[in-house]
């Protein structure tokens, strides 16, 4: 079976007492339930069912400071507490494994190499909100992850970690592996719920929020793979332990997907607050710039986050520090590009993506991304006109904050930041009808 050849820092994680997501990911046996259990797997799930109250589970996760790793960084415990206690309806827990934000390839590593960790986290979250049917929504292209998760689920049922009357506690919990159809927007939680319901993957208006009215109009919690995989460790080792990792406000460890022009692209687990410059240059991580070229810029948190210039990369990778630099931690996808990269070409790739993935429900996003793509393609092709940049800014302004879901904002933010930080290069492109530097990246 397929096993992703991606580089990880599992060796460091195995020795560092605070890192926990990547501890065992270089051992293919970790996928098997016996190995997982022999290393303390399903211990937290047992402890919870043995007599930790739902309120205490939520309180512990709240105190740990864990924030959503899917992009928005919303406090996980707080989100769980929004599920109404007195609702007579069923409740659902959905693990978001759509992983489609360009640059992001971290959740798949856990699915491929430590799938039971996700199941255990999902189970504990389900219990906390009193859910008896939980889903994992995996992007359809990830055939290898789907197989691993299905196998792990089967094992978990066989060994009594899932099913009826788990560990004799009287608690029942079923699981469904649901797979997508190749649409980025289905990572957005309300579109994802529509997709599970068998509808087109379009976003829903909020309110109502999913915690009140989500899947099948029942209270639903959607959490990212990485957020859920951290939960068993928080139960086992305590909220204080988790909160002691990271920075004052950004707690815990985080996975970063490093891609682009570095020597060692890969997935790395580090405490929040780890320095971005070290991530790129340290031999144990990015190992420096590919072919010794000069750095031109970094997208720190996935395709929808604003750029950082080379003089801005001495920054802590955490929610607050990146915000201070007018960017975002996002999904933790760090995309690095060198001096040979034309910024207009980068934006052309990004806007093409967002236009293609717009679900079409609201006009500013559907039409706006189309206009932006046309204008940007024109500039890139050397047919830019004076006034184009102002026009692009105007269209961006008319999308930002005026759409049903955040995809509209996601499309606009990197463009606005590229126009701000690399203005001269855009102007050069219009004046000279060609790139300042040509992005001719040859296949090696």
Partner 1 sequence: MILTEKSIAEIKEKAVHYPVKKSAILPALTVAYRQVGHVDEVIYKEISKIIDVPTLEIAEAATFYTMFPKKPRGKYLLQVCNNISCALRGSDSMIAHLENKLDIKLGETTEDNMFTLIGVECLGSCSTAPMIQVNLDYHENLDKKKVDSLIDELKAKKD
Ligand X SMILES: Cc1cc2nc3c(=O)[nH]c(=O)nc-3n(C[C@H](O)[C@H](O)[C@H](O)COP(=O)(O)O)c2cc1C
Residue numbers of the site for ligand X (CB under 6 A)? 68-72, 74, 96, 98-101, 185, 187-189, 222-224, 227, 405-407, 410
**Which member of 134, 245, 303, 412 binds partner 1 (CB under 8 A)?**
303
Which of partner 1, ligand X, ligand SF4, none binds 72 (CB below 5-8 Å, type-dependent)?
ligand X
**Which member of 57, 117, 228, 404 binds ligand SF4 (CB under 6 A)?**
404
**Which member of 63, 178, 366, 378 binds ligand SF4 (CB under 6 A)?**
366
Pairing of strands 92-97, 266-271: unpaired
Residue 331 CB partners (closer than 8 Å, separation 6+): 69, 70, 71, 101, 103, 104, 106, 257, 301, 302
Handedness of CA 329, 332, 338, 344 (dihedral sign): negative
- The least distance separating ligand SF4 from the CB of residue 76, rounded to whole angstroms, comes to 24
How big is the site for partner 1, counted in residues (CB under 8 A)?
65
Handedness of CA 34, 125, 318, 333 (dihedral sign): positive
Which of 65, 71 has the CB closer to ligand X?
Answer: 71
271-300 positions binding partner 1, by CB under 8 A: 299
Q: Is there binding between residue 199 and partner 1 (CB under 8 A)? A: yes
- The least distance separating ligand SF4 from the CB of residue 366, rounded to whole angstroms, comes to 5
Q: Is there binding between residue 7 and partner 1 (CB under 8 A)? A: yes
Q: Is there binding between residue 193 and ligand SF4 (CB under 6 A)? A: no
- The least distance separating ligand X from the CB of residue 70, rounded to whole angstroms, comes to 3
**Which member of 2, 89, 164, 438 binds partner 1 (CB under 8 A)?**
2
Residues 132/90, Cβ–Cβ less than 8 Å: yes
Q: Is there binding between residue 213 and partner 1 (CB under 8 A)? A: no
Residue 85 CB partners (closer than 8 Å, separation 6+): none
**Which member of 181, 360, 397, 401 binds ligand SF4 (CB under 6 A)?**
360
Which of 46, 366 has the CB closer to ligand X?
Answer: 366
- The least distance separating ligand SF4 from the CB of residue 199, rounded to whole angstroms, comes to 13
Q: Is there binding between residue 9 and ligand SF4 (CB under 6 A)? A: no
Query: Residues in the site for ligand SF4, rule: CB under 6 A?
Result: 185, 202-203, 358-362, 365-366, 403-405, 407-408
């Amino acid at each position: 079976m397929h096993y992703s050849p991606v580089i990880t820092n599992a060796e460091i994680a195995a020795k560092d007492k605070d890192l926990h997501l990547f501890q065992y990911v270089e051992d293919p046996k970790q996928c098997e339930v016996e190995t997982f259990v022999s290393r303390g797997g399903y211990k937290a799930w047992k402890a919870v069912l043995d007599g930790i109250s739902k309120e205490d589970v939520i309180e512990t996760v709240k105190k740990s400071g864990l924030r959503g790793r899917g992009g928005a960084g919303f406090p996980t415990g707080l989100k769980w507490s929004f599920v109404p206690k007195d609702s007579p309806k069923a409740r659902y827990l959905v693990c978001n494994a759509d992983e489609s934000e360009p640059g992001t390839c971290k959740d798949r590593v856990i699915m491929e190499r430590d799938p039971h960790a996700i199941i255990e986290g999902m189970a504990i979250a389900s219990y906390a909100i009193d859910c008896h049917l939980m889903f994992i929504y995996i992007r359809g292209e990830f055939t290898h992850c789907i197989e691993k998760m299905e196998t792990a689920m089967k094992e978990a049922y066989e060994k009594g970690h899932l099913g009826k009357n788990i560990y004799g506690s009287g608690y029942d919990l079923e699981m469904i592996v649901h797979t997508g159809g190749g649409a980025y927007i289905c990572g957005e939680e309300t579109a994802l719920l529509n997709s599970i319901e068998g509808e087109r993957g379009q976003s829903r208006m909020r309110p109502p929020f999913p915690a009140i009215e989500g899947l099948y109009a029942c209270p639903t919690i959607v959490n990212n793979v990485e957020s859920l995989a951290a939960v068993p460790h928080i139960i086992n080792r305590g909220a204080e332990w988790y909160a002691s990792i990271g920075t004052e406000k950004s707690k815990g460890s985080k996975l970063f997907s490093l891609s682009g022009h570095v020597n060692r692209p890969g997935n790395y687990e580090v405490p929040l607050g780890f320095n971005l410059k070290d991530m790129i240059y340290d031999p144990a991580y990015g190992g420096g710039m590919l072919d010794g070229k000069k750095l031109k810029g970094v997208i720190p948190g996935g395709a929808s986050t604003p750029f950082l210039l080379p003089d801005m990369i001495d920054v802590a990778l955490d929610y607050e520090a990146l915000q201070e630099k007018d960017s975002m931690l996002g999904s933790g996808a760090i995309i690095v590009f060198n001096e040979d990269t034309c910024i207009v070409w980068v934006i052309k790739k990004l806007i093409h993506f967002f236009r293609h993935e717009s679900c079409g429900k609201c006009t500013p996003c559907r039409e706006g991304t189309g206009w932006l793509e046309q204008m940007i393609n024109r500039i890139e092709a050397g047919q830019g006109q004076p006034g184009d940049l102002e026009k692009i800014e105007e269209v961006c302004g008319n999308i930002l904050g005026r759409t049903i879901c955040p995809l509209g904002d996601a499309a606009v933010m990197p463009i606005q930041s590229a126009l701000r930080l690399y203005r001269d290069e855009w102007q050069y492109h219009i004046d000279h009808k060609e790139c300042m530097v040509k992005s001719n990246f040859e296949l090696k």
